[in-house]
Amino acid sequence: MTNEKVLVIGSCGQLGTELVESLRGIYGESHVISTDIRKNDSVIFETGPFETLDILDESKFKEILQKYKPTQVYHLAALLSATAEKNPEFGWKLNMDGLFNVLNAAKEGQSIKRVYWPSSIAAFGPNTPRIDTPQYGAMDPTTVYGISKYAGELYIQYYYNRWGVDTRSLRYPGLIGYKSEPGGGTTDYAVSIYHDALKTQHHNCFLEKDTVLPMLYMPDAIKATLEVMHAEASKIKMRMSYNLAGMSFSPEEIYNEIKTHIPDFTIEYNSDYRQQIANSWPAVIDDSNAREDWGWIPDFNLEDMTTDMLLNIRQLYSLGS
Ligand code: SER
């Protein structure tokens, strides 16, 4: 394990911040290089190497590869659904060209032996069955983000089949964590709602009350990501991206759960353009392939997650953030 060098691209995002911490726990601080287009106030800058990297800058990327010779790359930099809809051309460019830069480096026989790249429930569309969404089925994404994820899935499979690049991927549901700010996603109301519950006891929700979406608590997302990356190659039978599920709930259900802890908490519903995005996504995911192939089991349901989120956000605020 100690011969491994891990490069994380987009390490200041929701997932990256927590993934870098876990990877440093496994491989050692100096073996995990975090990169992002800019620094924020995350603790990851104090715990190991950091390089500024815009993944569209191929020559800087190659310099970093030369310098560190990473054996694994986690490529997380992307525009999420709502942000990409505001700037569709750039959303496509960043999400696709960034991926090609990583895949081509792996294909060209640089040091890289394995690549992780996340897909999303956004790769599905209105003709996908919304309940028990199967691994394979109609995929007709309607957002630029979703189109880039579906195209990316096909390309990571292509690079695996054609050039043997060991690509691994998960279709994340909405990810919920307390260590970083929401990152412009349609599911991110489910992060903001906890902060609002503690700060102002009121949440203005941009989705309608009964919009059920699949979600996953961050510790489960990290666990799944590491499991799929650490699994023996023979167990990875999906070279597009695995369906992954944790829990499913609506805004009204998460609101009611939070209310059991904070009785004065109130909510109002003012849906906007993100409602249409949410309507095109699945509600409940069938992740039986992940369970069968590499033993996926989530640990958190809505109740456990809510207790943990409120506890941790309270602590963050009492520490003065
Ligand atoms: N959380 C993402 C989004 O809402 C979905 O993958 O954009």
Same domain, 161 and 78: yes
> In which residue are the tokens 């480096």 written?
105
Q: Ligand 1 center to residue 198 CA distance, Å?
A: 23
**For residue 219, pLDDT beyond 90:** yes
* Number of independent structural domains in the chain: 2
What are the pocket residues of ligand 1 if the criterion is a CB atom closer than 6 Å to any ligand atom?
80-81, 120-122, 145, 172, 174-175, 185-187
Same domain, 159 and 308: no
Residue nearest to atom 1 of ligand 1 (CA): 174
CB 180 within 8 A of CB 39: no
Cα–Cα dist 48/232, whole Å: 28
What is the residue-averaged pLDDT of the chain? Answer: 95
Which of 14, 15, 81, 206 for mutating ligand 1's site (highest number of atoms within 8 Å of CB)? 81
Same domain, 95 and 208: no
Residue nearest to atom 3 of ligand 1 (CA): 185
Q: Which atom of ligand 1 is nearest to the CA of 172?
A: 6
Residue nearest to atom 2 of ligand 1 (CA): 185
145 in catalytic set? yes
| Alpha-carbon torsion angle 5, 6, 12, 15, nearest 10 | -150
Residue nearest to atom 6 of ligand 1 (CA): 120
Q: Ligand 1 center to residue 18 CA distance, Å?
A: 17
Q: Ligand 1 center to residue 175 CA distance, Å?
A: 8
- Is position 1 within any domain? no
Same domain, 192 and 59: no
Mean pLDDT of 126-143: 95
Same domain, 164 and 306: no
pLDDT digits (tens, 9 = 90+) for 17-27: 999 999 999 99
Q: Which atom of ligand 1 is nearest to the CA of 82?
A: 7
Portion of the chain with pLDDT greater than 70, in percent? 98
SS3 of the chain: helix, strand, coil, percent, to 5: 45, 15, 40
The candidate with the shortest Cα–Cα distance to 187, out of 177, 201, 197, 198, is 177
Same domain, 129 and 204: no
Cα–Cα dist 35/38, whole Å: 8
- Is position 82 within any domain? yes
CATH number at residue 126: 3.40.50.720
CB 246 within 8 A of CB 170: no
Same domain, 199 and 210: yes
| Alpha-carbon torsion angle 136, 154, 174, 285, nearest 10 | 10
Q: Which range of residues forms the domain containing residue 183? A: 176-214+247-285+294-317
Catalytic residue among 116, 145, 150, 178: 145
Same domain, 238 and 276: no
Q: Which atom of ligand 1 is nearest to the CA of 145?
A: 7
Kindly give, in sequence order, each residue whose CB lies less than 8 Å from that of residue 57, ignoring residues fewer than 6 positions away: none
**For residue 2, pLDDT beyond 80:** no
Same domain, 70 and 104: yes
Residue 141 token pair: 């994404």
**For residue 167, pLDDT beyond 80:** yes
pLDDT, residue 321, reads 45
Strand partners, 67: none
Strand partners, 266: 202
Same domain, 39 and 152: yes
CATH number at residue 251: 3.90.25.10
pLDDT, residue 320, reads 53
Same domain, 94 and 124: yes
CB 29 within 8 A of CB 40: no
| φ/ψ (deg, to 5) at 6 | -115, 125
Q: Which atom of ligand 1 is nearest to the CA of 281?
A: 5
- Is position 65 within any domain? yes
Same domain, 11 and 160: yes
Residue 193 token pair: 């709602």
pTM: 0.95
